[in-house]
Structure 1
Amino acid sequence: MSEIITPVPALSTPPVKNERLLVRQAKDLVASPEAVVGLAVLLVLAFLALFAPLIAPQNPYDLMQLDIMDNMLPPGTMLGSGITAWLGTDDQGRDMLSAIMYGMRVSLGVGIASVAIASVIGALIGVLSAYIGGRFDALVMRIVDLQLSFPSILIALVLLTVFGRGLDKVILSLVFVQWAYYARTVRGSALVEKNKDYIAAARCLEISQWRILVRHMLPNCIPPLIVVSTVQVAHAITLESTLSFLGVGVPVTQPSLGMLIATGYDFLLSGNYWVSTYPGVALVLIVVAINLVGDRLRAILNPRFVQ
């Protein structure tokens, strides 16, 4: 008598269904005028930041290209080198448009890098905490609660005081500040996924615990993780700009938007408004654009927020 083999249902969503879901979510994203405007602004600013060395009129941190006689010139003035400073110059004769492009490179780079690292660490800790449960879960959540009880800026200031200034030190500090948000978010989603049938089926098939976590449970926790990551990029950029404004962030050789704002702060009330105002406008545009896209993603990926 031949043995009857019962086929095991697939544990993951078929590729065709995933493609249809992505197409529908993309259509939902572009259906919002605010999200489209935010995405367009974000793409333009990211393009300017990424290709700043190619399209910026001047390398503002190359001393050979600077002339101290061009300092504090108003917007639209022709510099001695022949370029037009459409946004004026600062106290060192740097073209503000070029300085903002280079500053956005640092701000966006720090924000994206810190969020990418923190989301990976926080997601792994969160899914492990939910899967193991018990005392380990309680310990992890108490650590998360303890960290979230302190202001982010205070923790970052303490860490940078210990580590010192530097681009890598800023990223490390922001990772330490942000991982708890991802750990709590992923843990909540993983607790729901843990009791579903596909996890029970994977255990019955004697699939390794690590594969269950990484291949089956963690991918289903990604939608809320994307929403939190999008919002946290704006938070990380704002926090980095605040640290740089206070003088404990990135070094002078790698200035961000926050440092450019701090540079022009002393001239803000003396009539030379452009030194601090235009970097501030660029920072506001980045943060608002990211938040517009993030709010729409939250509505798309979490049906409870759909109005």
Structure 2
Amino acid sequence: MGETITTRPLPAPSVAKGERLLLRQLRDLVSSPEAVIGLVILLTLSFAAIFAPLIAPQNPYDLMQLDIMDNMLPPGSTLGGGLTAWLGTDDQGRDMLSAIMYGMRVSLGVGIASVVIASLIGALIGVLSAYIGGRFDALVMRIVDLQLSFPSILIALVLLTLFGRGLDKVVLSLVFVQWAYYARTVRGSALVEKNKDYIAAARCLEIPQWRVLVRHMLPNCIPPLIVVSTVQVAHAITLESTLSFLGVGVPVTQPSLGMLIATGYDFLLSGKYWMSTYPGIALVLIVVAINLVGDRLRAVLNPRFTQ
């Protein structure tokens, strides 16, 4: 009679060790003054965007609160209802501070939603490509190379021309534009993990392949995925703002920072600078803050910087 061979699951990493690593990475992150400044700016703007219905002086898209006689007032003016427009008003009489808060809700929402969906799709495709290899890997990488050879704005414009305007269509277009970045990043990390001993041990224990991918290989590809996702949020927000500025992005009923900039651009040369300048400053602050945090995350999560 043959001996019965029992298989045991691979030992899980120490929770305490993982907590110590996380605390060390957090200390490394906040040790950079630039990253702290970026994080403070990002959290402040995100707070203002999330709670805009509660803290904004005015609901800029409620017609009952608007008065056309308050249009294009300079910063510091008092509106007919007694409200002080610290950043002025636009051509519809909307308080620019309130419009910027609501615009950031749309821009951040579109950027984060598109990055989350694209990263999930790209990570799955990338890890499958590395694990399967062969012709499948070659086919996937050629598709990735083909897509990355075209400018992102061109692909997004073509897709929105086909789909039409709409918040969901903008998110879908950005997902299609971005998934290739994540697929290539995760594939590179997965190829390194594929040749390590713990993957060979998992195969010897006859663990199902899906579990090897999801439980063992994919988690080790998350650090570079986080770095790319952070940077791509800024790229997605910029791309969405560009599309809205060109008039093919979000609809007028859900304006983003890009649409606010486009609305004020027509009056920029007539001295009404605040209608386009202040939304532009908000957009620049968001993008710069995300890039500052993303650059520091890249240094913290890069294995070459980890002892």
**TM-score of the superposition, structure 2-length normalised?**
0.96
The residue type equivalent to 1:81 in the other structure is: G
> Could you tell which deviates more after superposition, 273-282 or 204-213?
204-213
Does 198-207 or 272-281 show the bigger shift?
Answer: 198-207
**Partner in structure 2 of residue 131 of structure 1:** 131
The residue number in structure 1 matching 2:218 is: 218
Q: CA deviation at 1:80?
A: 0.6
Q: Counterpart in 2 of 1:182?
A: 182
Q: Runs ≥4 in structure 1, deviation > 4 angstroms?
A: 3-9
* 8 A Cα contact 2:89 2:275, kept in partner: yes
Instruction: Name the count of aligned residue pairs.
Output: 304
**CA distance change for structure 1 residues 7 and 212 in 2, over 3 Å: closer, same or farther?**
closer
Counterpart position of 2:96:
96
Q: Deviations over 1:163-190 (max 9, x none)?
A: 0000000000000000000000000000
- The 3 A distance-change label for structure 1 pair 11 and 216 is farther
The CA deviation at 1:201 is 0.9
Map of 1:109 onto structure 2: 109
Q: Partners of 2:6 and 2:133 in 1: how far apart?
A: 33
Q: Deviations over 1:188-210 (max 9, x none)?
A: 00000001111111111111100
Distance 1:304 1:67 in 2: 59
What is the CA-CA distance between 1:6 and the residue it aligns to? 9.7
Match of 2:228 in 1: 228
**For structure 1, which runs of at least 5 residues remain unmatched after alignment?**
none
Asked if 1:69 corresponds to 2:61, the answer is no
Partner of 2:48: 48
**Contact between 2:106 and 2:255, CA under 8 Å: does it hold in 1?**
yes
Q: Distance in 1 between matches of 2:97 and 2:174?
A: 27
The code of the aligned residue for 1:212 comes to: V
Q: CA shift at 1:12, angstroms?
A: 3.9
Q: Shift of residue 13 of structure 1?
A: 2.3
SS of corresponding position for 1:269: helix
- State the distance in 2 between where 1:165 and 1:304 align: 44
Are the equivalent residues in 2 in contact too, given 1:11–1:216 (CA < 8 A)?
Answer: no
Q: Could you tell me which amino acid in structure 1 is paired with residue 135 of structure 2?
A: R
Inter-partner Cα distance in structure 1 for 2:94 and 2:10: 60
Instruction: Look up the equivalent residue of 1:28 and give its one-letter code.
Output: D
Within 5 A, what are the aligned runs for 1:1-307? 10-304=10-304
Distance 2:9 2:121 in 1: 31
Alpha-carbon distance between aligned partners in 1 of 2:5 and 2:194, rounded to the nearest angstrom = 27
- Counterpart of 2:208, as a letter, is S
Q: Is the 8 A contact 2:7 2:205 kept in 1?
A: no
Instruction: After superposition, give the CA deviation of every residue in 1:60-96 in whole Å (9 maximum; x if it has no partner).
Output: 0111110000000000111011111000000000000
Report the Cα distance in structure 2 between the residues aligned to 1:5 and 1:168, rounded to whole angstroms. Answer: 53
Question: How far 1:226 sits from its partner (Å)?
Answer: 0.2
| CA RMSD of superposed structures (Å) | 1.5
Uncovered stretches (5+) of structure 2, i.e. residues with no partner: none
Cα deviations by residue, 1:205-255 (Å, 9 ceiling, x for unpaired): 111100100011000000000000000000000000000000000000000
Higher mean alpha-carbon deviation, 176-185 vs 262-271, is at: 262-271
CA distance in 2, matches of 1:177, 1:12: 37
Give the SS at the match of 2:218.
Answer: helix
